[in-house]
Amino acid sequence: MQVPLTKRIIHAIMEPLDGWLLLLLAAVFALSMVALFSASNQSWAKIDNKLVYTALALVVMWLLARISPQTVMHLAVPLYVGGMLMLLGVELFGVTVNGSTRWLNLGIVRIQPSEIMKTAVPMMVAWYFQKHETTLNWRHYIVAVVMIALPGAMVLKQPDLGTATLIMAAGFFVLFFAGLSWKVIIGGAIALLSSLPVVWNLMHDYQRRRIMTLIDPMEDPLGAGYHIIQSMIAIGSGGVWGKGWLAGSQTHLDYIPERTTDFIFAVYSEEFGLAGNVLLVLLYLGIISRCLLITARAPTLYGRLLAGAITLSFFVYAFVNMGMVAGILPVVGVPLPFMSYGGTATVSLAVGMGMLMGIGKLQRS
């Protein structure tokens, strides 16, 4: 019996996508639209813009889900080299905004190359380990560390501590899934802790202020501590069930800064309370669990390393943002995955999810 045309079209569209992962992402997107409508003071312009970028992200995710991971692997070297050249271009000809030189003006469009490196670094390191799969030794790990440290240091110099941390974390996750010894990890952690006095002296003044503000935000309640204090008030005032949609006083009296982007979790917490937070955390845990399942079933070393790095990077995004808003981590400007307003971050995350679905599709075929 011939299958109806409509069913064939739907099957062709859905076939490369992971149904459970797509459903969980759609649920987070629905919550994001609800929170953004309130956070933006019911701005339909922001809702429309979010819809446009989400549609673009879905297209990118669908296209990448259709591409074989081995094909994607061939893009690792040109993407990494191109990203490094653009970071060098930022260093030489970059556009400075608010004291930070992070953007490169290409005439038609202005781009932030550090966003590209969030994906390029784990791809490059995974490609390198795949290439030397049968002969892996400590020298390869040293080369991989250099691959990670170079772009991390360049982004840190811009300065952009948050993005540099995410780039280096994504690269480290590849090392972890490649079998990096626990002795090395523990030794590196001890060395990092020992170097903190040196790191402290190398930090910019505003970065040191963020650390001190985390310890005691009331030291400068109207300055450096304002963000954390107001977001903590919003989260606490939400209680168990929240104040109700569009009824958050901290939000609508403009006390919460950057409430559509970095601090949207404070808006969501105030209006939906602990119950809403539990729902969001469960959705994130569902996404991470599904991604880890895809990672565990990956048929190739490259697929396993890349999928694992994307999964743990997603976890770091969510954990750092929630911790930052709750006042247990410094403010570093990390968006909440698929919740925060911002086209670049949404598309960047969709790239990772698309590659994960492509790895999952290879398992099903």
Q: Which residues pair with 105 in a beta bridge?
A: 110
- Asked if the structure places residue 133 within a domain, the reply is no
- Asked if the structure places residue 310 within a domain, the reply is yes
- Asked if the structure places residue 307 within a domain, the reply is yes
Number of domains in the chain: 1
For the entire predicted model, the pTM comes to 0.88
| Domain of residue 356, residue span | 19-66+205-365
pLDDT in tens, 18-56: 889 999 999 999 999 999 999 998 888 899 989 998 999
More confident residue, 337 or 220: 337
- Asked if the structure places residue 304 within a domain, the reply is yes
- For tokens 């104040």, name the residue: 243
Share of the chain above pLDDT 70, in %: 92
**Chain centroid, CA 33 distance in Å:** 19
The answer to whether residues 340 and 301 touch, using CB atoms and an 8 Å cutoff, is no
- For tokens 């290409």, name the residue: 106
- Asked if the structure places residue 200 within a domain, the reply is no
Does residue 365 register a pLDDT over 60? no
- Asked if the structure places residue 339 within a domain, the reply is yes
**Chain centroid, CA 281 distance in Å:** 16
Does residue 363 register a pLDDT over 70? no
- Highest-pLDDT range among 42-46, 250-254, 263-267: 263-267
- Asked if the structure places residue 72 within a domain, the reply is no
104 backbone φψ class: left, alpha, beta (φ>0; ψ -120 to 50): beta
Cα–Cα distances in angstroms (integers) from residue 43 to residues 35, 90, 142, 164, 246, in the given order:
12, 34, 50, 32, 12
Mean pLDDT, the chain, integer: 86
pLDDT in tens, 197-223: 777 777 777 667 777 776 767 776 767
Q: Which residues pair with 96 in a beta bridge?
A: 101
- Asked if the structure places residue 85 within a domain, the reply is no
Does residue 246 register a pLDDT over 70? yes
**Cis? peptide before 122, omega within 30° of 0:** no
